[in-house]
């Protein structure tokens, strides 16, 4: 595997564990295997390391409030972003039992979107904030949807497919105006753009380790101090009873290290990586006819580019790219086994001619200019070949 060339442009799906992160977590899988809940020094001393990790994550998201014992208790470790999302929404519904309404955006990750559908089945009225053709939230409709019956609003900080960044501070303010709790799924945002909860009215925030160079299987739920919280998982006293279950020590340490690295690399993300992303976009759209960038050009994550290629189908494109060792994703139907293009593209009203051929490139600080040049060089041939096969690519392609 490692001898073959691999160009990994699928960092919104998952990221490589940073070597420093792996080194930091390794001892906790080997010699330091103690249980942080133990009385003996061997186990109990691990707790201090967990608290260091917690402090690093608190610093990354600006969760700077501490409790009387000087602990950053707003940060709760979970198993993944989805667990954090689910816990947040269910907790909010229990916190305000008299309110039933839930407001989410139409372009949420399935961790929230499918939960919304499930809540509808259980009798909760759920509203979905629409987006425009560039995937921007319809803030007017949003404000109409939130009212004094609304228990919780959950809107993602940044979209995984388009990379669009949403005006979360403003959304939180509006939710609070009506007394609703506000949660944000910040899985794609944390580590890529500055996220500061202390500047905002955000009540709860989810993040996931494997999107920022920590391993899979570790997540965080931030709960602002003073927000009523109901745990989803009941058992031992871990995480002060807010999330029972023996701590995933090695992964927690890893996430702490990853957060520390992200504080430094965020600068690189927003300068060098952004420049590479822009170069990739310009290179592809400049050399391939009827290729277009989807999403909001003004407010996007610096690493993400969603490009629609007319008259060709995404899975075919990805498989041709895969032969060259280039990894990316597609919003097309066929790649997932579902039969429809992604809900995000449909919510944006992207024409089917383009939606089926949308490819998402997502970079990280590990990508190089050489890799980007290679992709720019290879893409035109792939698209031209598939268009040659396509009955829709004629002298007059649909526009």
Q: How many Å apart are CA 268 and CA 367, to the nearest integer?
A: 11
Q: At its nearest, how many Å lie between other proteins and the CB of residue 319?
A: 5
**What is the C-alpha to C-alpha distance for residues 232 and 155, in angstroms, rounded to an integer?**
20
The secondary structure of 326-351 as a DSSP string is EE-EE-SSTTTT-SS--HHHHHHT--
Burial bucket for residue 66 (CB in 10 Å: 0-12, 13-18, 19+): middle
**285 lines the binding site for other proteins (CB under 8 A):** no
Q: Where are the beta strands (DSSP E) in 279-373?
A: 291-294, 304-309, 326-327, 329-330, 358-362
Handedness of CA 351, 281, 162, 11 (dihedral sign): positive
Q: How far is the CB of 332 from other proteins (least distance, A)?
A: 7
Helix (H, G, I), strand (E, B) or coil at 316: helix
Instruction: Read off the tokens for 11.
Output: 């960092």
Binding to other proteins, residues 348-387 (CB under 8 A): 352-353, 356
**Is 114 a residue that touches other proteins (CB under 8 A)?**
no
Please report where in the chains the tokens 């300068």 appear, as a residue: 271
The alpha carbons of the chain give a radius of gyration, in whole angstroms, of 22
Nearer to other proteins, 232 or 355 (CB): 355
Q: Give the residue with the Cβ less far from other proteins, 204 or 382.
A: 382
Catalytic hit among 96, 285, 327, 334: 334
The nearest distance, CB 283 to other proteins, in angstroms, is 25
Active site residue 327: no
Site residues for other proteins, window 292-331 (CB under 8 A)? Answer: 311-316, 319, 323
Q: Which of 19, 97, 123, 337 binds other proteins (CB under 8 A)?
A: 337
Q: How far is the CB of 295 from other proteins (least distance, A)?
A: 21
Count of all residues that appear for the chain in the document: 399
In whole angstroms, the minimum distance from the beta carbon of 110 to other proteins comes to 15
Do 285 and 291 touch, CB atoms closer than 8 A? yes
Task: Candidates 95, 139, 292, 333: give the one binding other proteins (CB under 8 A).
Answer: 333
By CB under 8 A, which span of 66-74, 227-235, 260-268, 333-341 interacts with other proteins? 333-341
Q: Which residues are catalytic?
A: 334
- The footprint of other proteins (CB under 8 A) covers 311-316, 319, 323, 332-335, 337-341, 352-353, 356, 388-392, 398
């Amino acid at each position: 595997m490692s001898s073959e060339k691999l160009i990994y442009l699928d960092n919104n799906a998952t990221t490589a564990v940073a070597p420093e992160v792996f080194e930091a977590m390794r001892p906790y899988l080997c010699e330091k295997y103690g249980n942080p809940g133990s009385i003996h020094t061997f186990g109990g001393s691990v707790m201090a390391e967990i608290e260091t990790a917690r402090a690093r994550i608190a610093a990354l998201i600006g969760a700077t409030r501490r409790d009387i014992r000087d602990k950053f208790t707003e940060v709760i470790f979970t198993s993944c972003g989805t667990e954090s999302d689910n816990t947040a929404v269910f907790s909010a519904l229990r916190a305000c039992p008299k309110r039933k309404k839930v407001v989410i955006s139409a372009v949420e990750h399935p961790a929230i979107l499918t939960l919304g559908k499930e809540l509808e089945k259980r009798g909760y009225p759920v509203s979905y904030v629409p987006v425009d053709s560039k995937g921007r939230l319809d803030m007017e409709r949003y404000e109409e949807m939130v009212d004094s019956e609304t228990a919780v609003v959950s809107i993602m900080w940044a979209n995984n497919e388009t990379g669009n960044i949403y005006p979360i501070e403003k959304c939180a303010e509006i939710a609070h105006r009506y007394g609703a709790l506000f949660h944000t799924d910040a899985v794609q945002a944390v580590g890529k753009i500055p996220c500061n909860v202390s500047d905002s009215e955000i009540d709860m925030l989810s993040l996931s380790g494997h999107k920022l160079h920590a391993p899979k299987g570790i997540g965080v739920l931030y709960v602002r101090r003073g927000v009523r919280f109901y745990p989803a998982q009941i058992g031992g006293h871990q995480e002060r009873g807010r999330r029972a279950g023996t701590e995933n020590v090695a992964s927690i340490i890893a996430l702490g290290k990853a957060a520390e690295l992200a504080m430094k690399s965020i600068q690189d993300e927003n300068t060098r990586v952004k420049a590479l992303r822009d170069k990739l976009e310009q290179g592809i759209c400049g050399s391939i006819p009827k290729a277009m960038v989807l999403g909001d050009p003004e407010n996007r994550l610096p690493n993400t580019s969603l490009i629609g290629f007319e008259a060709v189908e995404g899975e075919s494109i990805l498989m041709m790219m895969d032969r060259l060792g280039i990894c990316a994703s597609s919003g097309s139907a066929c790649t997932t086994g579902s039969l429809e293009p992604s809900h995000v593209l449909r919510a944006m009203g992207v024409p089917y001619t383009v939606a089926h051929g949308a490819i998402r490139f997502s970079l990280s600080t590990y990508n190089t200019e050489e890799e980007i040049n290679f992709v720019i060089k290879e893409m035109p041939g792939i698209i031209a070949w598939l268009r040659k096969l396509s009955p829709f690519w004629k002298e007059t392609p649909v526009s």
